[in-house]
Structure 1
Amino acid sequence: MNRPAVHVIGTGLLGTSLGLALRRAGYEVTLADLSPTARRLAADMGAGTAAEPEDPGIVVVATPPDVAAPTIVEALRRWPEATVTDVASVKTAILVRVREQTTARELDRYIGSHPMAGREKSGAIAAREDLFAARPWVVCSDEDTPSERLAQVVALAEATGASVIHLDPDFHDSSVARVSHAPQVLASLMAAQLKDMPIDGVGLAGQGLRDVTRIAASDPGLWTQILTGNAAEVREVLAAIRGDLDTMIDALELAPGAFASIASLLAAGNEGRDRIPGKHGAAPAKYAEVTVVVDDTPGTLGRLFADVGELGVNIEDIRIDHATGIRLGSVDISVIPAAQLTLTEGLLERGWRVPEAAIEQEGRE
């Protein structure tokens, strides 16, 4: 298959990961970055060649969001035959700026896109060739987009293992404000509450706090650009959350009716959580959990997973929590409800420490 040469501008986490994935898929990739060190690092990692191309088929702008629009415009003019896309997490503001600075013919060659993938770590050193695998990749086109150029961008995204979704830019920005941008703010604000907390208190942290604050390790500079680029949508979401927070704060005065308000807010959270897609983008699914207490020693998890496999049970999801002060942890194994009893009994027979409440509950149902 004849694949167009790809030029990636920006060799941070996304740009380098993209280069790695495209090279694996058989694309010829060249790299550019304002930092010669960053470009050389990406090249040394195998993401592409640190060179300026003469006539690339596709140019991917993977710069920070605040400089994406001028970089796109420059690419459209420098390579007048190339299809130009970007991977920024905001789409409407960039499209408006590009439209203001280009002709209709130039604009026809620009197609905004956004892979819904990332890590809390940044830079080329954090790149992975499988970063986009099984992740949604949003492509924003319209009825005026030339079909052959749209096909190039779709093929590029699918070559990384991503699943392409076509969305309007405004709908994209409204959606990511809720599923990505506002969660980043909330994670950071929650983590900030630990900044001056006595260390003995922080030591009580369990997996719940780790889950909520994991993405708080993200780069503040990058996220300032993302949040300001999608400011109106994020502001709307945070205002709605502020309303719910005010309701919860008032309810915790424990006046008459408070218990109903608290329960209602928590139940709304249950409903929202249940709408998050399941594995591989499938419909949401409810799983049963089997908790196993394990020693924090080499090989323990390997033996546990081997035993689960021998029992013929598929692990749908897994979570590990570490005890404080002792070398023990708990592994929560999510399985389909029909497999819960088989797994619990089988692990007990093999000597694993499993709370027997699951068996007792199964027997009562």
Structure 2
Amino acid sequence: MIRTMAVVGTGLIGTSIGLAISRHGITVHLLDKDEVAARTAAALGAGVVGASDEPVDLAVIAVPPSAVGDVLAEMQARGLARSYTDVASVKAELARDIRTSVDTPSSYVGGHPLAGRERCGPLAARADLFEDSAWVLTPSETTSQDAVNRVFEMIALCGAVPVIMESRAHDNAVALTSHAPHLVASLMAARLQRGSREAFRLAGQGLRDVTRSAVRDTGLWSDILQANAPAVAGVLRELRDDLTTLLATLDDLSNAPQDMRSQCLEPMVDLLNRGAAGLAAIQGRQATDRETRVEVLVAESPGQLVRLLDALKTFHVEAEDVVPRHSTEEGTFSITFAVPAARAGQIVLELGRAGWNAQSVDPVSGARQQKMASVLSP
């Protein structure tokens, strides 16, 4: 059982871990070469500044990927903790370095919480940052079970969901789902340097969505991309091929006579269709152990759906997360939405208490599992 912890590096992730763990009454020791950052994290309630006199149960190395190996070796030499983990978003190269440069690699298990914000630094930290998010662990053949168990406990205290992966598989996955998208957002944001005042007046939600994840901490991201260069390059080469096809199609459309343009559209339509299919694949993925769908019946009278959507905001469910459904056979209109499995029961209960007919839906069979009220609307 974890009674004491240390966090080395009090940026967004490190401070958020401290906040999440401290609320369970566990003493967290905060270390950072930037004393202001450590004291800011402590003032937020993430822990106490300075190392413990005795080894803590678990230390989290929350520094950039290129620094993890050296910091881990230093902390092990100081006897800071019994077990260690990190939060770096690149694992394979780091695992190789640690196997050769750290005295006791058995006490270390690689980790990567899949959570973050556009802002950085301790003031952006949140105790609930990791709730219902995946937290990847990449234990090696030398990792001790004690180290894994302690990290499992920390993940549970943070409200996250552990996922075991091999290091290279992890790096390939985040290249596709995180690292390359951040780069693409940055490339689009770079185009804005040439924008005019008139153009910016026309900027809407589409531009904000595309550029929202553009890299801000260029030092950290240079470090990440250096460590995961092969996997990111592979994703971007495929993107380059699609862009080449799209550019050729647009050039053909620009030069073709009006009555011939429809014949040039096929490659572009294919790309757009593949994009729509990819978006549907991630948005409409089936509920897993971490996710359950909830269905709520709605009376088809003016204002009822608006009232329900307002109520769902309490559970952090927005209108764009909702899928409407009409059953001609049953003569009902309903909406469904996905929520973390751990919260589904409570959400159904609270909606039922408010008078809504809410029930959870089995992700495989579609069968209704839990019904809380018999009225159609409050």
The question of a shared fold, defined as TM-score above 0.5 by the shorter chain, is answered with yes
Q: Which amino acid aligns with 1:62?
A: A
Q: Which moved more, 1:201-210 or 1:126-135?
A: 201-210
1:261 aligns with 2:282: no
Q: Give the counterpart letter for 1:224 in structure 2.
A: S
Provide the residue aligned with 1:362 in structure 2. Answer: none
CA distance in 2, matches of 1:150, 1:163: 14
* Runs of at least 5 residues in structure 2 that lack an aligned partner in the other structure: 254-260, 296-302, 336-378
Structure 2 partner of 1:70: 70
Partners of 2:215 and 2:221 within 8 A in 1: no
Question: In the alignment, what sits opposite 1:126?
Answer: 124
- Indicate if the aligned counterparts of 1:22 and 1:159 stay in contact, CA closer than 8 A: yes
Contact (CA 8 Å) 1:10, 1:61: kept in 2 or not? Answer: yes
Structure 1, residues 294-317: CA drift from partner, whole Å, max 9, x if none? Answer: xxxxxxxxx999722589999885
Match of residue 290 from structure 1: none
Q: Give % identity.
A: 35
AA at the equivalent of 2:267: S
Alpha carbons 2:69, 2:97 under 8 Å: kept: yes
Query: What SS does the aligned partner of 2:22 have?
Result: helix
Q: Secondary structure at the match of 2:6?
A: strand
Aligned to 1:204: 202
CA distance in 2, matches of 1:305, 1:43: 44
Q: Work out the CA distance in 1 between the residues paired with 2:311 and 2:12.
A: 39
- What letter matches 2:10 in structure 1? T
Change (3 A) 1:81 1:50: closer
Partner of 1:95: 95
Residue matched to 1:326? none
Conserved in 2, the CA contact under 8 Å of 1:314 and 1:335? Answer: no
Matched residue, 1:4: 3
SS in 1 for 2:115: coil
* Per-residue Cα deviation, 1:217-260 (whole angstroms, up to 9, x for no partner): 63222111111111111111111111111111111122675311
1:308 aligns with 2:346: no
Q: For the residues of structure 1 that align with 2:323 and 2:73, how far apart are their CA atoms?
A: 50
Could you tell me how far 1:284 is from its partner in structure 2?
Answer: 11
2:250 aligned residue (252, 262, 273): 252
Q: How does 1:22-41 map to 2 (within 5 A)?
A: 22-41=21-40
| Structure 2 partner of 1:20 | 19
- Distance of 1:13 and 1:215 partners within structure 2: 16
2:189 to 191, 194, 207: 191
Corresponding residue for residue 85 of structure 2 = 85
Question: Between Structure 1 and Structure 2, how many residues are aligned?
Answer: 312
Q: Distance in 2 between matches of 1:224 and 1:69?
A: 17
Counterpart of 1:199, as a letter, is R
The answer as to 2:60 corresponding to 1:60 is yes
Report how far residue 143 of structure 1 moved: 4.0
| Shift in CA distance, 164/313, structure 1 to aligned 2, threshold 3 Å | closer
Residue 279 of structure 1 and its aligned partner are, at CA, apart by 9.0
C-alpha separation in 2, matches of 1:197 and 1:96: 44
Residue 323 of structure 2 is aligned to residue 336 of structure 1: yes
- Answer yes or no: is the 8 Å Cα contact 1:22–1:160 preserved in 2: yes
RMSD: 3.0
CA contact (8 A) 1:20 1:46 kept: yes
TM-score, normalised to structure 2, is 0.75
Letter in structure 1 aligned against 2:324:
P
Query: 1:81 offset after TM fit, Å?
Result: 5.8
Give the counterpart letter for 1:41 in structure 2.
T
Q: CA deviation at 1:25?
A: 2.5
**CA distance in 2 between partners of 1:21 and 1:125 (Å):** 14
The answer (yes or no) to whether the contact 1:120–1:219 under 8 Å persists in 2 is no
TM-score w.r.t. length of structure 1? 0.78
AA aligned opposite 1:161: G
1:136 maps to: 134
CA distance in 2, matches of 1:95, 1:267: 39
Question: Separation in 1 of the partners of 2:280 and 2:292?
Answer: 6
Paired letter, 2:126: R
Structure 2 partner of 1:272? 278
* Partner deviation per Cα, 1:181-213 (whole Å, 9 max, x = no partner): 000000011011111200211221221111111
Distance 1:206 1:146, change over 3 A: same
Cα 1:185–1:304 change in 2 (3 A) is farther
Q: Could you tell me whether the CA contact under 8 Å between 2:61 and 2:72 is conserved in 1?
A: yes
Q: Secondary structure at the match of 2:194?
A: coil
Deviation string, structure 1 residues 60-108 (Cα, Å, up to 9, x no partner): 10012221111112222222761110001111111111112134xx011
Of the structure 1 ranges 13-22 and 198-207, higher mean CA displacement relative to structure 2 is found in 198-207
CA contact (8 A) 2:105 2:142 kept: no
